[in-house]
Structure 1
């Protein structure tokens, strides 16, 4: 899977955001995703060597399942690690797909200036990842989602398949989660 090749798949509607809370469940969670999903690899807490090794494992599982994988960070590293795209706040001309996290109108405007293709808008609902953050709620989320266009909007924050089904595809392209893909204890 060479880097910097045009993505020949549609932009996924379902995404897993990696998180240290997944622990040993990470690769199994990726395997449970529907074929052709997306993965945003974060794991910022690891040193560079550990992070790259784990990313390589994730990338192999993603390739077998037909998933795409974006690396959170900078475009140069994403390109060197053969990611399908980058997840970050700055545009990388070297990768064909760029996604960015957005939480408010100012961040949306910045992401649109650097022509992000996919915007992960959050938090729609309360989340275990950021327990103190106030969710946007449906009205504010809808307003901000409209501002994101023409970029693809991915809803994030307390999301699961049932919550995602409440939003029209004309406004929200898809959804992302962590806990929705964890095995139940």
Structure 2
């Protein structure tokens, strides 16, 4: 794969994790190995990043109810469609329907909505956030396609105050959840090298994706 070392390293490591997870749970093979989580402050023009990402990866757009969310989500839908990528919308089912997204990512407090979403949108990809590494999945979580566990490493943003899981013992935690799991938080082309054997189906990132695919990278 052409591109800078961060781009090659992050994508190749994410694909390797997905292949290993799919060998145990075939459902993982239908999931994007790499998810780009948007953030209004840190990723103001996320469609420009998506336009550089590899086919088969995905974006989780988090509009947080902002007035410009509809326009931004539509631009992301255009970019992800052109690149052969998956687009998930954070929390907002109506916006996901409006832009014909591929599914929804649920914050931790909203994971209880998954059964209802699954009934009404059986073809959607549904993921849910999990911040408590000791918590087991709820019964309704079985309707999710994957959990997004964070923070794996020291992270910024909302996860800055949470202690990181670290690579040690991650495989045991992932196995205990019994669902495909993404790792989020401090994921970069460098840190992802510590994750083979973790059982993760892929990785999710903000800064790590910007380092690899942000405008100006070559």
| Contact 1:104–1:144 under 8 Å retained in 2 | no
Instruction: Quote the offset at 1:33 in angstroms.
Output: 1.5
The two structures have a TM-score, normalised by structure 1, of 0.81
Cα distance, 1:141 vs. partner? 3.2
Indicate the structure with greater helix content.
Answer: 2
Specify whether residues 139 and 23 from structure 1 end up closer, same or farther in structure 2 by C-alpha distance, changes over 3 A only.
Answer: closer
Distance 1:140 1:102, change over 3 A: farther
CA RMSD of aligned residues (A): 2.5
Deviates more, 1:58-67 or 1:137-146: 137-146
Task: Choose between structure 1 and 2 for higher RCO, CA contacts under 8 A separated by at least 6 residues.
Answer: 2
5+ residue gaps in structure 1? 1-8
- The list of structure 1 runs, each at least 4 consecutive aligned residues, that deviate by more than 6 angstroms after superposition, is none
In the other structure, the counterpart of 1:54 is 72
- Map of 2:205 onto structure 1: 177
Equivalent position of 2:56 in the other structure = 36
Distance in 2 between residues matched to 1:26 and 1:43, nearest whole Å: 11
Alpha-carbon displacement from aligned partner over 1:147-172 (angstroms, at most 9, x marks no partner): 222x2211100002332233236711
Alpha-carbon spacing, 1:156–1:84, altered in 2? closer, same or farther (3 Å):
same
Alignment of 1:1-185 (within 5 A): 10-44=30-64, 46-47=66-67, 50-88=68-106, 89=111, 90-91=113-114, 92-93=117-118, 94-95=120-121, 96=123, 97-104=125-132, 108-110=136-138, 113-130=141-158, 131-149=160-178, 151-168=179-196, 171-182=199-210, 183=214
Aligned to 1:3: none
Instruction: List alignment gaps of at least 5 residues for structure 2.
Output: 1-28
